[in-house]
Amino acid sequence: GAVVSQHPSWVICKSGTSVKIECRSLDFQATTMFWYRQFPKQSLMLMATSNEGSKATYEQGVEKDKFLINHASLTLSTLTVTSAHPEDSSFYICSAIPGGSLMDEQYFGPGTRLTVT
């Protein structure tokens, strides 16, 4: 149980275009999902917390108008990187906490590798 999927697993786009990444909880409902970014040889950096039916909470320094998050259902959150630039190239990973669980274990998706040319 507690499987999280992401789509696409990798994407290459041109500078100035937008890219949407989907995060789905496959076998549980997730009221809260998280979006992380990881640069090579660095640790995970939390970008935002996504709550179903409400606005996402962004971490300091993360541009909310550039990284649009939508958590429209209990099993789907999307991250849209708008007007992507080469410096946005990174490994984007989502995670989710099973709703109703007494524990707060976060389960990670497989990640999406974004390359902006």
Partner 1 sequence: QKEVEQNSGPLSVPEGAIASLNCTYSDRVSQSFFWYRQYSGKSPELIMSIYSNGDKEDGRFTAQLNKASQYVSLLIRDSQPSDSATYLCAVRGGGATNKLIFGTGTLLAVQP
Residue number with CB closer to partner 1 (43 or 54): 43
Strand pairing category for 107-108 and 4-7: unpaired
CA atoms within 13 A of residue 22's CA, in its CB half-sphere: 11
Cα separations (Å) of 62 from 36, 58, 101, 104? 11, 6, 29, 24
Which one of the spans 20-28, 65-73, 80-88, 102-110 is the region binding partner 1 (CB under 8 A)?
Answer: 102-110
Position 98 contacts partner 1 (CB under 8 A): no
Query: In whole angstroms, how close is the CB of 43 to partner 1 at the nearest point?
Result: 5
- DSSP H helical ranges for the chain: none
Position 43 contacts partner 1 (CB under 8 A): yes
Position 89 contacts partner 1 (CB under 8 A): no
Residue number with CB closer to partner 1 (30 or 81): 30
Q: Which of 93, 98, 114, 116 binds partner 1 (CB under 8 A)?
A: 93
Residue 59 CA to residue 42 CA, distance in Å, equals 17
Are the CB atoms for 84 and 18 separated by under 8 Å? yes
Position 104 contacts partner 1 (CB under 8 A): yes
Which residues are near partner 1 by CB under 8 A? 32, 34, 42-44, 46, 49, 91, 93, 97, 103-111
